[in-house]
Amino acid sequence: MYNVAIVGAGPAGIFTALEIMKLRPQWKVVLVEKGPKIEKRKCLLREGYEKCPGCKKCGLLCGWGGAGAFSDGKLTLTPDVGGHLVDYMPRKKVEDLIAYTDSVYLDFGATDEVFGLNREAFADLERQATLAELKLVHSPVRHLGTERSLGVLKSMQDYLDKKITILNDVSATSLIVENEQVKGFLTSDNQQIRAEYVVIAPGREGADWLTKEFDKNKIGMVSNAVDVGVRVELPAPVFEPITEKLYESKLIYHSPSFGDEVRTFCMNPYGEVVAENYNGIATVNGHSYGEADKRTRNTNFALLVSEKFTEPFKEPIAYGQHIARLANMLAGGILVQRFGDLLDGRRSTPERIKASTLVPTLGCATPGDLSLVLPYRQMTSIIEMLYALDKIAPGTASRYTLLYGVEVKFYSARVKLTNDLETEGVKNLYTIGDGAGVTRGLIQASASGVHVARIICGK
């Protein structure tokens, strides 16, 4: 019997445990994580495999630190991007939570440098963006770098390992709910975890399980927006006038053809494109490094189109999986296409990719035709966004620019929650982080854990 049981050792789950141990160090807390400890996580593709082997548990997604462990650790220090916490509490409270959470990252070894604090430089870039019909969101970023991010998370793991029970390579399989109150959950190794409070923080990797389990227990959910798009790779100097000032620019555009919102996401100066495996489905992402000797000559970022569907649509994960599977079907994994080939209505070939001025950092991607994968509406919006970006970063819409597909963010349908982030209909059950559709990034996921920990300890 535990005071608190936590499902998922991503940033949301980790910060829940950290804050509880600060406020109630005598409490018994268990944290269940389906993947291994951080020092045992690995990706065979990053270790020399030519193609993603499709591991049962993707080393980039599962394990201590969640999907953020192998990311380049960008902490976006504003409530305006990275989640929906302002829907549950006043903006000032979210700002305070972010500031506090950021200080905890610093305590565990995060770098002191923050990009985007120069308001004069931001104002100049904002003016250029406005002229191109783009909205530039002011979002100071603390960049850890992939190697620093791993070190910070390892420090958190070692600290908590002495204070709570951590069960690695163990999955939660089903919730135990009695008389509309959570009592615990069952695990993949046939344990019954009993707890006074349960915090569900499975991340995007566990969003599918969360949706099915909550549907089974008749826990209310509402349809979330579906984020589907591509990862763009181009020469680093193209975006250098922006990235050297902001590191990561959050740009939003509404396409003239359909009015859809298109946004940049996870910008990686001098970074690399990487493949991820979501339960057998290959998707694309990007990383960058703090160390100069690991830098590439390219910059990459995602362009995501957010679609909100009308009722009775309730399956955002299944929709994203369907599109990703189309790309996998055609390419045997990740598909890549030159922007010029897309405009000319022809598929890219290995010869055309090789003849380009740009060397792809994801060598296992298969040249092909993204127009056979992405719906016409999303593809049109992405093309229009690239032309808009070309106005502030000439060279973005070059015929040699590479588009990798697909990038999908697997958020579950959004759980119906109280302002305390307690699940409506089931008492003492809290649901946080990206997997619950509450957040969309490291800092707000972490902050949601702090918030829930304080609520529980206050009770």
The pTM of this model reads: 0.90
Per domain, the residue ranges of the chain are 2-115+141-220+415-458, 226-409
Phi, psi of 255 (to 5 degrees): -65, 135
pLDDT of residue 61: 79
* CA–CA distances in Å: residue 79 to residues 95, 182, 207, 243, 315: 6, 30, 22, 21, 27
CB neighbour list of residue 388: distance below 8 Å, 6 or more residues apart:
132, 133, 134, 253
Closest to 294 in 3D by CA, of 147, 109, 115: 147
Q: Dihedral of CA 196/202/207/213: which sign?
A: negative
User: Which residues of the chain are under the pLDDT cut of 50?
Assistant: none
Homologous superfamily in CATH for domain 2-115+141-220+415-458: FAD/NAD(P)-binding domain (3.50.50.60)
d(CA 214, CA 233): 38
Residue 364 burial by Cβ neighbours in a 10 Å radius (0-12, 13-18, 19+): middle
Cα-to-chain-centroid distance, residue 13? 15
The answer to whether 65 touches 9, Cβ cutoff 8 Å, is yes
d(CA 438, CA 89): 12
d(CA 355, CA 347): 14
pLDDT of residue 71: 66
| 41-72 burial code (b ≥16 CB/10 A, e <16) | bebebeeeeebbeebebbbbbbbbbbbbbbbb
Cα-to-chain-centroid distance, residue 168? 21
Helix%, strand%, coil% for the chain, nearest 5: 35, 25, 35
**What is the H or E stretch that residue 26 is in?**
none
Q: Provide the pairing of β-strand 335-338 with 366-367.
A: parallel
